[in-house]
Amino acid sequence: MSISQTFSSIFIILYLTIGVAISQYDYDCRWRKNVTDISEIAHHKYQILEDCIYYKLSSDANKMQGRGNSIMTLPPTVQAGEHLELDILNVGFRQIWMNELWKTMAISGYINFSWKDRRFKWDKSDFVTDEINIKSSSRIWIPDITTDKSVYSAQNSDFTFFKNIKARNTGNITTRMEYKVEADCNTDYSDFPDDKKQCCFNFRSSIYPTYIKYYLYNDHIDLNELRSNWHVQQSHIHINSDLNDPKKQYINICMNVKRRAPILRVELVLPMVISGLITILAPFFGKLEIQLYVKLFALLLHLMSFQFLSEKTPQLGFGETVPNLYVFYVFTFAITFVSIFLTLITTALNRVPRHLPPSHGLTLWANLCNSLLFCSAESVSSNDTEKGTKDYTGNWCQIYIALNNCFSIIVLIVYIVGIVILSF
């Protein structure tokens, strides 16, 4: 037997085998006639039944619209002037995270859609079931809903895809569109690190902008599946018309979010508060020199705290906004500098020798003030000078210390009032 005859025999055998297999395959699922309840069908048989329904509906649609694969490529309506009513059942957020460099908010979530497709109608009594699952979005015509950046920008990371597509025998199609978008945000850094952002993004059809009409069933956005350190304070969804062409509609989603960073706020505020308290409580440490060293140490803590704050600042800064936290830092710096300046003046005056005694009333006031307020009075020296002149420097020292204590009280009051004002 020649090689050509051998190949011919093999080809004939394969052709007959495939032909027999095809002839035995039940495209119409005739076995369904023996089934009275859907629960009697095994799982793999139910998938076969879904395919049978789909291919029958696809064949009928091809005959009706005069084109192959029309159920995949052509919209449901056939009359001129008809519109597709696209129902928005509900909207939800799943994840929210911030790109601090580009100041864009990445948002992932879902939208449940529903619409009517007259091609997906069948008799339940004939096919047992009243609902089928469409295994792929490529097997059915789906509205081309996408984001603005996908339409108008060549480079973007937005995407949308459809899942859980179901068709009922009434012609009703339901699906869930998963999306991931990068929304541009207006940022309010006044309460940094708990800054606030207002973000908006749009969905629209690029191929059928005037054909699709949106209907909103529920304007509430579901946040039950949201996992983020951003708290959604307010959100809404609207159906808007294009300003240039009112016939074109789009879906507008906006939200106001606030960062939840209580631990970071404590890390940024607590060191500055402690160093500020050290500054205003320095008179309790005794002598003027010791108070000065304590305040200089507090100033060092201020600088270290500010360095830590600068590391947490966004790379491109805050724009024209000055956060309240920065105002608090500057205010604490100012209070510390004023306190150090007053203590330096008091220390300098204390070094000047005094040969005339202060008035008796001033001395009594200084002693009373020092004993009641801070108990930081120093012992009075009564040593004579080499010329026999009485030295009253120690008496004046008590007065200077009393003045320093009074200034410290004023600084304390100003600091407390300033913190209260900044807090509100």
Residue 84 sits in the same domain as residue 206: yes
Beta-sheet pairing, 221-222 with 84-99? parallel
d(CA 82, CA 49): 32
Residue 254 sits in the same domain as residue 272: no
pLDDT at 312: 83
Residue 59 domain-assigned?
no
Residue 44 domain-assigned?
no
Residue 247 sits in the same domain as residue 297: no
**Integer CA distances (angstroms), 373 to 141, 244, 294, 346, in order:** 84, 73, 19, 17
Helix (H, G, I), strand (E, B), or coil: what is residue 192? coil
pLDDT at 191: 87
Domain boundary among 242, 260, 278: 260
d(CA 349, CA 331): 27
What b/e readout covers 359-390, taking b as 16+ CB neighbours within 10 angstroms? Answer: eeeebeebbebbeebbebbeeeeeeeeeeeee
Report the domain count for the chain.
Answer: 2
Residue 248 sits in the same domain as residue 284: no
Residue 11 domain-assigned?
no
pLDDT at 145: 92
What letter does residue 381 receive in the DSSP assignment?
P
pLDDT at 18: 47
d(CA 141, CA 117): 9
Residue 255 sits in the same domain as residue 268: no
**Integer CA distances (angstroms), 223 to 158, 166, 234, 252, 351, in order:** 21, 24, 11, 17, 69
Q: Name the residue range of residue 174's domain.
A: 74-260
Residue 252 sits in the same domain as residue 400: no
Residue 251 domain-assigned?
yes
Q: Which two tokens stand for residue 167?
A: 């068709």
Q: What is the mean pLDDT of each run of 10 residues along the chain (424 residues)?
A: 59 51 52 63 75 88 86 83 90 88 85 93 83 89 87 74 92 94 87 89 90 90 88 91 89 92 88 88 82 90 90 77 89 90 84 68 69 56 51 71 82 88 80
Q: Which residues pair with 114 in a beta bridge?
A: 87, 174
Residue 180 sits in the same domain as residue 215: yes
pLDDT at 398: 75
Helix (H, G, I), strand (E, B), or coil: what is residue 147? strand
pLDDT at 141: 93
pLDDT at 4: 62
Domain of residue 252, CATH code: 2.70.170.10
Give the DSSP H or E segment for 12. helix 3-24
Residue 324 sits in the same domain as residue 342: yes
pLDDT at 25: 45
Residue 251 sits in the same domain as residue 298: no
Instruction: Yes or no: say if 376 and 400 are a contact pair by the CB < 8 Å rule.
Output: no
pLDDT at 22: 40
Domain boundary among 210, 241, 260: 260
Q: Which two tokens stand for residue 141?
A: 């015509």
Q: What is the residue type of 233? A: Q
pLDDT at 257: 93
Residue 39 domain-assigned?
no
Domain boundary among 230, 245, 260: 260
What letter does residue 384 receive in the DSSP assignment?
B
Within 8 A by CB and 6+ apart from 166, the residues are 131, 132, 133, 134, 173, 174, 175
- For 394, how many CA atoms within 13 A lie in the half-sphere containing its CB? 10
Residue 380 sits in the same domain as residue 281: yes
Residue 327 domain-assigned?
yes
d(CA 118, CA 254): 34
CB atoms within 10 A of CB 148: 20
Residue 12 domain-assigned?
no
Residue 135 sits in the same domain as residue 217: yes
Residue 16 domain-assigned?
no
Helix (H, G, I), strand (E, B), or coil: what is residue 57? helix
pLDDT at 180: 92
Residue 237 sits in the same domain as residue 366: no
pTM score over 0.85: no
d(CA 182, CA 202): 11
d(CA 368, CA 375): 9
Instruction: Yes or no: say if 381 and 391 are a contact pair by the CB < 8 Å rule.
Output: yes
